[in-house]
Amino acid sequence: MLSRLLPLARVTFLEALRQRFFGFLLVLGVALALAALPLRAIDFGHGELKFLADLGFGVTLLFGSILAVVLPAQLLYAELDNRTALTLLAKPVGRAEFLLGKFLGAWAVLAVFALVITGVVGAILLLREPEVAAKAARLNATPPELSLGGLASHAGLQVLRLGLVAALTLLIGSLARTFLYTVVVGSLAVLAGQLVWIAQDALQRPETDGLLRAGLWVASRAFPNLQMFNLGETLVLAPSKADAAMVLDPALAGAGYLAVLLALGCLAFRRREI
């Protein structure tokens, strides 16, 4: 299976790298991350490093989510609309292998995006950290914390989050008939994933009962909680408050959801008429 899956993933990866949409978002994301330097005076009362980190991590969250919805759908429907999928599936390539190859290729590109933006943010933080620490020392204030290990953990969580969005998009694309429908529903699913924490929080309230509790329980399980991956500020700028469970819990939950979404996507794609 790997002998057929890996070439598909490689071709998909190279095809995705050539997409103008990917290049545009990557350049725009890097530009916005770098723009934090001249804008760092506008800190809204927060520390400089926090402002720089929040802006950079926000770029990964927003542009990465857009890319993780559009890119897999674009790659899938390019094969379906051009009928090249029929040629591939006529060979000894199963439908599950076809979809998984598309996912792995798209996920690799999304990983490149997340790692590049995170690397730029890390370089900016390292550049500014000595001056900010010196300023804190002059003011007898607590110097800022900066953890490169936390930055690496955050990058890994973002790669997993983008993989979840890509898998969710491919599941929708396996059921839908048009690229536009897949992108719209995929975007709404990402929004739902960002708001799952509200349902989970409501379930903890004792006054929530009956049908509302049942509905909230279903909603909180149907979509992965994408908000649980937004730990960049704590992991990078407050490593003393972080522990292994803070990273391990979302990583395990994300891996579980990823396996389920891919399994459902492969099952749906097997039943799809091409």
Domain count, the chain: 1
Question: In this model, does residue 185 exceed pLDDT 60?
Answer: yes
pLDDT class of 45 with cuts at 50, 70, 90: very low
End-to-end CA distance of the chain: 22
Give the pLDDT mean for 175-202. 90
Residue 217's pLDDT is what? Answer: 78
Q: Is the dihedral of CA 212, 217, 221, 227 positive or negative?
A: positive
pLDDT, one tens digit per residue, over 225-267 is 999 999 988 899 888 888 888 999 999 999 999 999 999 999 9
Residue 61 or residue 37, greater confidence: 61
Q: In which domain, by residue range, is 263 found?
A: 2-270
Tokens 């097997």 belong to 270
Judged by average pLDDT, the poorest of 34-38, 71-75, 110-114 is 34-38
Sequence-separated (6 or more) residues with CB below 8 Å from residue 270? 95, 96
Give 55-95 pLDDT, tens digit per residue: 889 999 999 999 999 999 999 998 888 888 777 777 777 88
10 is written with which tokens?
């490689």
Least Cα distance to 174 among 190, 158, 185, 163 occurs for 185
pTM to 2 decimals? 0.90
Give the mean model confidence (pLDDT) for residues 173-183.
93
Cβ neighbourhood burial of 112 (10 Å; 0-12, 13-18, 19+): middle
What are the tens digits of pLDDT across the range 121-143? Answer: 999 999 888 888 787 777 777 77
